[in-house]
Amino acid sequence: MWKLCRFLDKQPPLEVTSQHVQQFLTDLAVRQQVSASAQNQAFNALRFLFRHVFERELADTPRAKRRQSISTVLSCPEVASLIGQVTPPYQLMGMLLDGYGLRLSEALALRLHNFNFDTGMLTVQFGKGGNLGQCPYPKVFRVRFKRNWSASKLSIRRT
């Protein structure tokens, strides 16, 4: 309310009309560049004030609309090209992120005991909400896991 009073140059609240409120909301959007949700919240607060304190209704005021955002998603060939450019130990991580929809923190928390090579199941222990999740993984992954695991065991023994 104090922002509205300051905008209206300390005009008495009982003299404020719907047109004043509309000018204030337009000023919020244009000059102050607040988001649509902030402008709608201000409108709802003023409508509540007018309805329950001043006991009168505001005239219909145009509401702010949220901008439609289009999410950016890579196509399958783009993902394949991207993963193809990553070197082998990290390539597997990229395949996990893409194939299972894992978050980066979930993929980084994976350890060898999360992969059950006998059943072909991947167990994600610290997923969203701390839940335990299991999902099957394809045989192609199984071969790559074993190849990467064997290569890492050899490099550990050499050092």
Average pLDDT over residues 37-57: 86
Q: What is the pLDDT of residues 65-106, one digit of tens each?
A: 777 777 788 888 998 899 889 887 788 888 888 887 788 888
Q: How far apart are CA 83 and CA 80, in angstroms?
A: 5
Quote the CA–CA distance of 42 and 119 in Å, as a whole number. Answer: 56
Angle between helices 36-52 and 18-30 (to 10 degrees): 160
Q: Name the helix (H) or strand (E) containing 135.
A: strand 133-136
Q: How many helices (H) and strands (E) would you count in the chain?
A: 7, 3
Interval 117-143 mean pLDDT: 76
pLDDT at 156: 41
Domains of the chain: 2-52 (no CATH), 76-142 (1.10.443.10)
| pTM for the model | 0.47
Of the candidates 86, 130, 88, which has an alpha carbon nearest to the alpha carbon of residue 106?
130
